[in-house]
Every structure is written in structure tokens, then in C-alpha cells.
Amino acid sequence: MRFLKDLWRILRGDKGALIGGIIVLLYCLMALIGPWVVPLSNEQDPANAYAGPSWSHPLGTDALGQGVLSQIIVGSRPIMVVGLLAAIITVFIGVTVGLLTGYIGGWFDTLVMRITDIFLTIPGLPLIIVLAAFIQTTNPVVLAIILSITAWAGLARSIRSQAMSLRSSDFIEAAKLQGVPLRNMIFRQLLPNVGPYVAIHFLLAITGAIYAQVGLFLLGIAPISGTNWGIMINLAMAQGALYTTDSALYLFAPMAAIVILQVAFVFFSRALDSVFNPRLRVQ
Amino acid sequence: MTTYILRRLGMALVVILVVLTMSFFMVRLMPGNPMDALAAQLRAQGGLTEQDIQNRLNAVYGVTPTAPVWQQYLTYIGNAFRGDLGVPITNPGTTVVAIIAEALPWTIIVVAFALIISFVIGVAIGAAMAAFQNTWFAKVTTFFVSVLSAIPNYLVAIILLYFFTGVWQIFPSGGAYGVDVTPGFNAEYLKSVAWHAVLPIAATVITSFGGWALAMKGSAISVLGAEYVRAAESRGLSPRRITQSYIGRNSMLPMITQLALSIGFMFGGSVFIETYFQYPGIGFYLIQSVNQRDYSLMMGCFLLITVSVIIANLLVDLLYPLVDPRIARPATRKKAEVQADKSVPDEGLGAGGTMA
């Protein structure tokens, strides 16, 4: 409750963050109920191809005469679901590894951190592309795992450094004396103290996953099936949208959808930052 | 200092070995792996003896498919370290290394220029934002910089392509230099190269300088509040000395750490940039080989991108002690490392999808 109150106060003061939060919420609603509300028929209507904006198709139609706006709405769900799954995986691994290594220390820390460093060094996107090319999956969970293959490493390192400074604090000493088991120590004692940091990184992990995921569809590396924003841009480019003005809306509408969502996430995450970091509020 | 260098070198070698191992297992051991697939395809074509097929596979992947796995592995690693990455499936007349050797310089040119330009612009803007915080300048700049850094680079590439090669046709839409110039050290050629690199570099800079600006701003503001700055002020040091040696140098430390991380992101992002601008760098060939199912070339590109990133990281690591001497001394290393981990600002990391 306290958290929501704080969040609301900050959001009222920071218009950018408020608008960002509202937009993120709207996108979530769109992904949740959009596909049920907006009909996307499989019927093609070539007579109606590249129509301009009209009452029935507010953003015009594509090469097959299907509404661009309804495709954007239907296409939001796969993108958001995979982005969310990837962020959950990234944050879960990053936090667990970071807290364990930071708390336990010693050779365990050295060993795991060396492995983490390897993942930190390997460029993420090329690895994702290569894996996606080999695996060719349409399963959202598998795609999310591929997308988070290296993203957890940076989070693990920064969580570790926070856990290391928490380790010497009084309440951890007290818990240790009480003989609290490791599980409790990690998830009950340490986790709440890094919670804020994790929340912000969760949002940023979503934006990172959406970036990489749309990129995969854009380049046609992930299998092109169904409807999502990346596939829309891919098809628009393949149909020569760059050199005809006909399909400009079909190309730019999904791009705008992505940009607005990414910007909204970044602005909203800034508000969370000030909720959790009272120091930033004073400045 | 020597231990520090040796440690970093050792780490770089380990990462290269890990990536080589990964690529070996992906090509050779995954169910329905490319090597078996190629063998089946050659068999289906008919007219080839089993020996021919084995020879062909050997040429493409550099290993003998019938040998035990550990022997194939050792051969593969040995070949890779000798600079033999096999033959592209789609173009058996050349070698993977030859294609990569031609492509890599273009990628390095674009990545290096884009990185330097966005770093300089970003750090300058970030420092200005920190110096004039709470003014309208800082607020407006922060807004624009946050928006720009949140836009995926491939979308900026598409927009630049749309306007500068489609609508206005100012810049060329592909290639690294024009067909009418002779490669060599002459003004015409260099001009053409620069002209072709403008859009790829611009697309990268537009989306990445914002991250640097935000990171620098955060870092500089946190240094501004530090006790040693207050101490320096109360000692009556000149403002110039304080900004240069106390604030400037210390707020640059996390920037340098991030430089190492961002090199990987830049090489990753260049895959999109090069593909859209049809710029014949290594990312362009990576995507082309993926689309043509040319796995030997694909793994070669992936390996070389990784190795370039590792070498670039190594350079940053080796230069880092010049900025932060603590890192090379065993007694203070731990402290400096932990501080570096902590001070990587969140804002700069996730923006523009650089997490990936």
C-alpha cells in the first residue's frame, strides 16, 4: 500500500513517467483483450489493398486488404508475452546468481563469476541470432529462453555487489546467528533489499527482450508465422514499402507501436527509480 | 600489473575456447544438425560415393564425420586456432576466413567511428546536463535523449533509408564504396567509403549517444554529492581544478567500464545496421548465411564477431589501469571492481534495448 501511495505521488509530480505508466498499462490491456475484441479475418480482399485510412480501417490496409490497426492490436500479444517471459527468466537467473554468489562468497563466488563474465563478454545479439537460426522455434517459452541467454549476466554482477555489501549488515548477522536456512536467507532476507533495483531491471529487461525479439522477426530469422509487429515490418519491407508511398502506413504503424512502447517503458522505469531511491527525489 | 595482464589474457582465451566449443556442439551434435543434414542432402543428390560425401563434409566443416567425437572436437579447435574455419556451403570456391577477412574491416570502421562519436557527444551532453541540472536545458535534453535512446536502432535505420535513399536519394542504399572507384589509397576511393559509411554510422550514433549522456549525467551527479568533492571545495581549490581532477576524472570511471560492455552491444547492433544498409560487414554476412542456411559461414561470422569483441574488451581492460590505477594492484582490486559493478548506471544499460 505504502508503495502504491509513493508511486502515485511520484507519478503525479512527473508527467513523463505518468504518461509512460498509462501507456504501458494500455498496451497490456491491448495485448490482454485486444485479440478477442478486434476481429482479424483470414479472408483476403485484394480489391481493398493499400487502402487509405477509413472508418472501418483507421490505419488503412496492407497488400492483402487487411486492416493495419487490427493487425497491430492482434500483433501486440505475442510480442508482449515473449518480452514478459524473457524478463522473468532474465531477472530470476540474474537475481538468484547474484544473491548466491554475493552472499556465499569464496571459491563458489569466484567460479560462478568467471562463468558470468563469459556470458557478459559474448555479444548477446549475435548469439541469439545463431541460436534462433538453429532452433527455429515458434514456442514462446523457448524463444524467451533464447532471448535471455546472456541478458542475466549484467544483472547478476550488479546484484552480487549489492549482496556483498548487505552481507556485513547487522540484520544478516542476526539471521545467521539464528541459523536461518540458505533459502530463507536469500529470498526472505536479501531479496527484499534489492527488490527496487530488480523491479527497474525487470522493466528494462522487457524492453531489451522486445528489441531483440522484433529484430529476429525483422530479419526473418525466427519463423514467420502469425501476426506480430516484427513480422509486419518484415513483410512491409519485403513488399518494397521503402520505395512506394502506398504501404507507408503498413511500415510505419508497427514501428510507431514499438517506439511508443519502448519509450513508455523507459519513462515509467524512471518513476520507479525515484520511488525506490529517495535520494533522487531530493535532487 | 603483469598478473593483471596475464589474468585478462587468460580470461580472453577461455571465452574464445567456450565459444568455439559451443559452435562445435551446435553444428555437430544437435538433433537434426547441419552436418547430418548436408550429408543427407548430398546422398539424396546421388552420383556421389560415400567417400566423396565424407570429403565434402570434411572440406566444409573441417572434421571427419566418422571419427570419434572427441577427435573431431580436437581437430575443430586446432583448425580454428590455425585460422581454418572451413568452406562456405553456398560458395565452395572460397573459404570462410577469406570472406570474413574482407568483411571485418568494414564492421570495425563503422563500429569504431560510431562508438567514438556517440561516446564523445554523449559524455559532453551528459556533463552539461549534470552541470546545469534543474534548468530547463537539462529537462528538455533529458527528455529528448531518453526518447532517442529508447528507439531500436533498426527502426532508425529504416527511417533513414526511407528518407535518405528512398524519398530524397542523397546517400547510396548499399555497398561500402561506389562501383566507379578503384580501391586503394586515393581521394576518390576514400571519399566514396566515407560517403557510404555515413548512414550506418548515423543510425548507430542517433540511438546510442543518449545512453552515454544519461549514464554520464547519473555518474557526474553522484560524484557531485561525494564527500571528497565537498572537502576539495572547503579547501578552497579552484573550481577548474575541482571539475577537472575531482569530478571529471571520477565520473569518467564508470563510463570506461561501460565502454567495455557496450562494444559487445555495438557489434550486435551492427548486424541490423549492416543488413539494412547492405553494408558488406560481418553482420551482413551473418544474416545472409542464416537466411541461406550456410552454417559454416554463419558460425565463422559468429566466432569472429565474438573474437573482435573479446579483443576490444581486452584493449579496454589493458587501458583501464591508466584511468583507475587501483584495478592493477591486488590489494585494492576487489574494492575497485565492486565499485565499478555498482556504479554502472541503470539508465544507460537498458535503454535502446542495449541489454541484448
Domains of chain A: 7-33+82-280 (1.10.3720.10)
The whole-model pTM stands at 0.84
Which pLDDT tens digit goes with each residue over B72-112? Answer: 888 888 888 887 777 787 777 788 888 888 888 889 889 99
CB–CB contacts below 8 A, A to B: 180
Answer yes or no: do A258 and B152 touch at CB < 8 A: yes
Overall domain count for chain B: 2
B339 assigned to some structural domain: no
Same domain flag for B151 and B101: yes
Residues on chain B touching A151 (C-beta within 8 angstroms): 355-356
Residues on chain A touching B14 (C-beta within 8 angstroms): 114, 118
Asked whether the predicted pLDDT for residue B334 surpasses 50, the reply is: yes
Q: pLDDT: is B26 or A52 the higher one?
A: B26
Q: Let me know: does B345 contact A161? Beta carbons within 8 Å.
A: no
Range of the domain at B300: 97-325
Same domain flag for B14 and B126: no
Same domain flag for B317 and B257: yes
Which member of A118, A164, A204 has the closest CB to residue B14? Answer: A118
CATH number at residue B178: 1.10.3720.10
Answer yes or no: do A220 and B347 touch at CB < 8 A: no
A270 touches chain B (CB under 8 A): yes
Rounding to the nearest 10 degrees, give the CA dihedral for residues B120, B121, B126, B129.
140
Instruction: Give the C-alpha separation, B188 to B180, whole Å.
Output: 9
Same domain flag for B76 and B152: no
B19 assigned to some structural domain: yes
Which of B33, B58, B82 corresponds to the end of one domain? B82
Same domain flag for B60 and B138: no
- Residue B311 cell numbers, joined: 579483443
Average pLDDT over residues B242-259: 81
Shortest distance, CA B313 to any CA of chain A (angstroms): 8
Instruction: Give the C-alpha separation, B26 to A148, whole Å.
Output: 18
Same domain flag for B43 and B171: no
B146 assigned to some structural domain: yes
B211 assigned to some structural domain: yes
Report which residue type is found at B41.
Answer: Q
A267 touches chain B (CB under 8 A): yes
Answer yes or no: do B265 and A215 touch at CB < 8 A: no
B24 assigned to some structural domain: yes
Same domain flag for B60 and B23: yes
B236 assigned to some structural domain: yes
Q: Is the ipTM beyond the 0.90 threshold?
A: no
The pLDDT value given to residue A51 = 66
A193 touches chain B (CB under 8 A): no
pLDDT band at B350 (very low <50, low <70, confident <90, very high): very low
Residues on chain A touching B342 (C-beta within 8 angstroms): 158, 161-162
127-156 in chain A: CB under 8 A from chain B: 127-131, 133-134, 147, 150-151, 154
Place of cell 577461455: B14
- DSSP assignment of B319-330 equals HHHHH-GGGGSH
Q: Which residues pair with A241 in a beta bridge?
A: none
Same domain flag for B165 and B252: yes
The pLDDT value given to residue A94 = 93
Helix/strand/coil for A236:
helix
Shortest distance, CA A237 to any CA of chain B (angstroms): 9
Which member of A158, A207, A270 has the closest CB to residue B341? Answer: A158
Asked whether the predicted pLDDT for residue A144 surpasses 90, the reply is: yes
Which of B59, B82, B105 corresponds to the end of one domain? B82
Shortest distance, CA B13 to any CA of chain A (angstroms): 10
Which pLDDT tens digit goes with each residue over A151-176? Answer: 899 889 888 888 888 888 888 888 88
Instruction: Give the C-alpha separation, B77 to B350, whole Å.
Output: 35
The pLDDT value given to residue A40 = 65
Average pLDDT over residues B36-45: 74
B343 assigned to some structural domain: no
Asked whether the predicted pLDDT for residue B188 surpasses 50, the reply is: yes
Same domain flag for B75 and B101: no
pLDDT band at A43 (very low <50, low <70, confident <90, very high): low
Same domain flag for B55 and B129: no
- DSSP assignment of B250-299 equals HHHHHHHHHHHHHHHHHHHHHHHHHHHTT--SHHHHHHHHHHTT-HHHHH
Same domain flag for B56 and B114: no
Which helix (H) or strand (E) is B159 found in, with range?
Answer: helix B153-160
Same domain flag for B206 and B286: yes
B355 assigned to some structural domain: no
Average pLDDT over residues A138-156: 90
Answer yes or no: do B151 and A207 touch at CB < 8 A: no
Dihedrals φ, ψ of B198, to 5°? Answer: -60, -55
Answer yes or no: do B306 and A151 touch at CB < 8 A: no
Answer yes or no: do A154 and B349 touch at CB < 8 A: yes
